[in-house]
Structure 1
């Protein structure tokens, strides 16, 4: 072997590219260590790719160093084969990664991986055979490098074609821009290899070209889901964490903080609250993870075994939180509990905590107990039944019952109107009242189906009562403001009424006032359209919460329902009585009818009669009854002889 061969550096190789690869890979590992990454099968493949990439860069540096020092000796051949094997192992791992990310079915994944492994094995065998032949024929380091480039090029093109075909096959399983990200990184890698060959740089930047798809994976698929300002992770990461800890049988403690004032869409935490959250999450618990499932809701999870003194730590953290509350005065609800096997198995902590919030007063701390789990199981059962009612869309569904409360017409003394009220009768729970299921139906998009069912059944009962000769002016049905957003709302309502064969004026719709500007415009439009079809409208719960007189007058309601709270206030204070009386007189002067709810005794009745009452409703006259029993209150029309 010549002196030139002994000290030959193959194809002007420089280790800069490989050293940069090693440095970037270690930076990514550091970022992964100090961040939270979902430990999915795809993530584990990704970590293997990074490790293999580091090994590949080390092998390339070693191979070239040995070749420059010793020339074409057996150890150089061996390291060249190892270098190529590591390179194509990275490509094989790319194939595995794509299969994991796209969640191909097991049979198809096995076929693809067997094909990719066959390509890998073939390349390695050819490379080893070529190296043995080169050594036996006494080729120089230059010839060795030249043969190596040919083997690498063939293998590279084979694997590139395999992965591009695979990406094309699964393109419908990936978001378009994710696909473009992968394709762009592969194109950049190919361009670098091409320029390297044109410029005669040997394998200086070969490993670097493999780094670009890895960076694309890191950024697109595994970038940290932290909110950088408060260090909170999202709900997807919460679900992944619970699944991981449940799989490892790791018990944990959770602390939930809900701030209703910050829960609206688009609401942002003020800077002082963000600063407090950052400090709270870091200082009080070991290995804690902070999540933000939704606006105004933060959830802290920490392993129980890493915090054996967690009770003392929680008391300390609650004391600190109360100091913050004293300063900033944001209302809150705090829920504290230990991991529950059934909730962890179904990964339902967000729903479980929200269900617990509903029964809590503001500015209170609640410790989870077995009754909370039982209440959640009950809600989940009701929700499943609602989902089934919604999917079946049977307007005669026997699980939905129509009750009603007769309403006294002051001018005639007759019960010629009523309010329809909904109940559910479920096999496992019996009779269910609205406060246990209406909010679930609204939150999950089932409320309109329930409205259609109760409206259909009410119309059918009105038709029967009318046919039997009973005097029924109208029966009102409650409708959620959320339903008005649907383009088909008016057609759905009028279609059910006309389908029953009764005139539109026999039905009234009760709505509560909306605070939202866009909802107000929609409400006005829908009320106007349905009034043109003869349907009456009630404003429900006037006097509770938000009331804007200007908006109320702008909406074409027929009847204003004064809430029982106004009846109680009128009976307890002459000042309140004067205010309520003036409001009722004003509505009456504007040709609205006034209906008082919650009339429970004769004193309430006399008070309301003295305040421009047109209609009276409450336990004084009747509790809610099955709508079939309305015949006990309604009167038959007198026949004219």
Structure 2
């Protein structure tokens, strides 16, 4: 027996700390449990057990006089060897199961590892029979044979993982391949150093050859935004990358939206389409090493290309299109795609603006039934900047909820009563002030509806109309002022309370307010909309059916809703002047509505011939530039008759 030097196990303590920390993080944040995430979780549990056993072995080896018991020490050694084999299994399974092809070969994989484990057990038996797992010395225990035994098994596992990944290179994502190429050799080197330093430096640090693997696997593929199968990152990673690079380097975006008739069949892990989808990802990655893939939502992908040469960038984008077109031909599952590509220019100050730009451009293809490929043009950036300014203004208006917001400007156009020859009512018209520009409703209303801010704008214009009515209703004789109300708003359950609260605030009669509902936008929830209309009608508020003749509302629906006035669109008037068939149809509709008690109103009257036609066909009210142009609502009172005594 020779002179004994105590073993240093600081590496095991560090590994234990890392494993416990990882366990805490996984339990706390509850990461998405993908197929291979379980290998990390249970492998980390075994790591904690192995590290505790290993530390206890070192303590006994350094202090045999206090703690050594032959049978218990043998149990400690064998327990560690068994647990270590489990750790190697989870590492081996984790690396191999990153390949989607390997997942379909689980049975063969299990047979292979059973064989590997059998060889491992035989080696343990041979080691015990030849040298014994340890040597008891005067003041310590020599555990070099034990350490070299399991370290050899670790070296074999690391080497096999590296070789297996090389054979499966085409079936794993680039980032997975790079991770294996980086960490497997490092692991091999550390394991070899463990074999050397257990004798020379009397250090035990084998825990740092497996604990970091589980930690890095978790950080790369389950906590940070990499998907191990597709190689894509998530939207948070996209934002981080763009924030770091878009103002410093030339970056191109290829935004891909997949449209499939049955998403479930397309993404099922057992379907051929799923395997082909992985192949598509590999083919796109192969286009350029400068290409990064991100999955920002279901069936929505962003490919980011960092390329200074515009021709090379466009060529790479065309190749992405080629991959998608080839997939459409070869894949049994029918699908279409929309691919919008373009450069991120200096005008994009934020990542949000980049995302909104490509969403904005792709919106024109949302209802297309075939695949679309489009490279952005300078006009798209100009149109988007206008859209962005408007949407930003609308969001800010919605956020502040200021009923007197000066950016919402109210005009009003008088409506002429044929019977009395006077102006008895008016239509309130909204304008939006964006910077130094005044934007018309046909531009900003669709944006407000899309962003969910239309109801706030309606409440603001209602508030301003009620304020104006309260200021001059005592001095001027008029019936009402109407405001436009989105059909989507009528499906809101709180609509009645919101409108009536504003009207009550100014102590005016509800009958002074009328609501115009366009025909072109059908109710989201017809029953709720009808109920809201009936409730508001019972309070004295009348409804106009606006733009009649341009939409697709059935006459049955019109008759069943409590509309009082039918407002004919000007296109019907213009067509009827030149087309006898349209004239007959218009005359018939006017007769039917009048017979059923509706009031008829025609808009868009701009000359005397249109006016005479409208009068001759019996319209009750006429609205148009011939009589009056829209004016600031504060000035609308001059069109109304002043009450006697004032």
Q: Shorter-chain-normalised TM-score: which range?
A: 0.5 to 0.7
From 403, 408, 411, the equivalent of 2:411 is 403
Q: Is the 8 A contact 1:242 1:344 kept in 2?
A: no
Distance 1:30-1:539 versus aligned 2 partners, 3 A rule: farther
Quote the residue 2:252 is aligned against: 253
Distance 1:610 1:476 in 2: 25
- Offset from partner CA, 1:321-379 (integer Å, 9 cap, x none): 89979xx9999875320133553743433311233356789877654345544544444
Deviation, structure 1 residue 498: 2.1
Q: Determine helix, strand or coil for the equivalent of 1:544.
A: coil
Deviation, structure 1 residue 314: 4.4
Quote the residue 1:185 is aligned against: none
2:555 equivalent to 1:568: no
Quote the residue 2:633 is aligned against: 627
Quote the residue 1:353 is aligned against: 358
Distance 1:383-1:312 versus aligned 2 partners, 3 A rule: closer
Distance 2:636 2:302 in 1: 50
Quote the residue 1:423 is aligned against: 431
Map residues 387-466 of structure 1 onto 2, 5 A cutoff: 387-426=395-434, 428-466=435-473
Q: Determine helix, strand or coil for the equivalent of 1:619.
A: coil
Quote the residue 1:21 is aligned against: 87
Q: Is the 8 A contact 1:18 1:208 kept in 2?
A: no
Q: Return 5+ residue gaps in structure 1 as ranges.
A: 36-57, 85-130, 136-147, 153-202
Quote the residue 1:76 is aligned against: 143
Greater CA drift, 545-554 or 238-247: 238-247
Map residues 151-300 of structure 1 onto 2, 5 A cutoff: 221=223, 237-244=234-241, 246-247=243-244, 251-256=250-255, 268=262, 278=277, 285-286=287-288, 299-300=302-303
Distance 1:564 1:334 in 2: 39
Q: Is the 8 A contact 1:286 1:307 kept in 2?
A: no
- Offset from partner CA, 1:514-570 (integer Å, 9 cap, x none): 876751111101111111110111122222243222222211111122223323333
2:311 equivalent to 1:311: no
Q: Is the 8 A contact 1:585 1:611 kept in 2?
A: no
Aligned residues: 486
2:556 equivalent to 1:556: no
Quote the residue 1:143 is aligned against: none
Distance 1:332 1:210 in 2: 41
Q: Determine helix, strand or coil for the equivalent of 1:539.
A: strand
The CA RMSD over aligned residues, in Å, is 5.3
From 599, 608, 614, the equivalent of 1:608 is 614
Distance 2:85 2:361 in 1: 55
2:594 equivalent to 1:588: yes
Distance 1:338-1:22 versus aligned 2 partners, 3 A rule: farther
Distance 1:9-1:456 versus aligned 2 partners, 3 A rule: closer
- Offset from partner CA, 1:208-243 (integer Å, 9 cap, x none): 9999999999997569769x9xx696xx81342242
TM-score (normalised: structure 2): 0.61
Quote the residue 2:22 is aligned against: none
- Offset from partner CA, 1:489-520 (integer Å, 9 cap, x none): 21121121122122111100112348767511
Distance 1:224-1:421 versus aligned 2 partners, 3 A rule: same
Q: Is the 8 A contact 1:251 1:303 kept in 2?
A: yes
Distance 2:601 2:87 in 1: 77
Q: Is the 8 A contact 1:541 1:563 kept in 2?
A: yes
Distance 2:296 2:624 in 1: 42
TM-score (normalised: structure 1): 0.61
Q: Return 5+ residue gaps in structure 2 as ranges.
A: 3-68, 102-119, 152-197
Distance 1:294-1:18 versus aligned 2 partners, 3 A rule: closer
- Offset from partner CA, 1:564-620 (integer Å, 9 cap, x none): 332333334333333333233222222122222322323333333444422222233
From 469, 488, 494, the equivalent of 2:494 is 488
Q: Is the 8 A contact 1:232 1:292 kept in 2?
A: no
Distance 1:338-1:421 versus aligned 2 partners, 3 A rule: same
Q: Is the 8 A contact 1:509 1:535 kept in 2?
A: yes
Distance 1:312 1:268 in 2: 32
Distance 2:547 2:642 in 1: 31
Distance 1:547-1:403 versus aligned 2 partners, 3 A rule: same
Deviation, structure 1 residue 485: 4.2
Q: Determine helix, strand or coil for the equivalent of 1:623.
A: coil
- Offset from partner CA, 1:221-268 (integer Å, 9 cap, x none): 569769x9xx696xx813422422552556443234569xx69xxx85
Distance 1:332-1:215 versus aligned 2 partners, 3 A rule: closer
2:340 equivalent to 1:335: yes
Q: Is the 8 A contact 1:595 1:617 kept in 2?
A: yes
Distance 1:372-1:211 versus aligned 2 partners, 3 A rule: closer
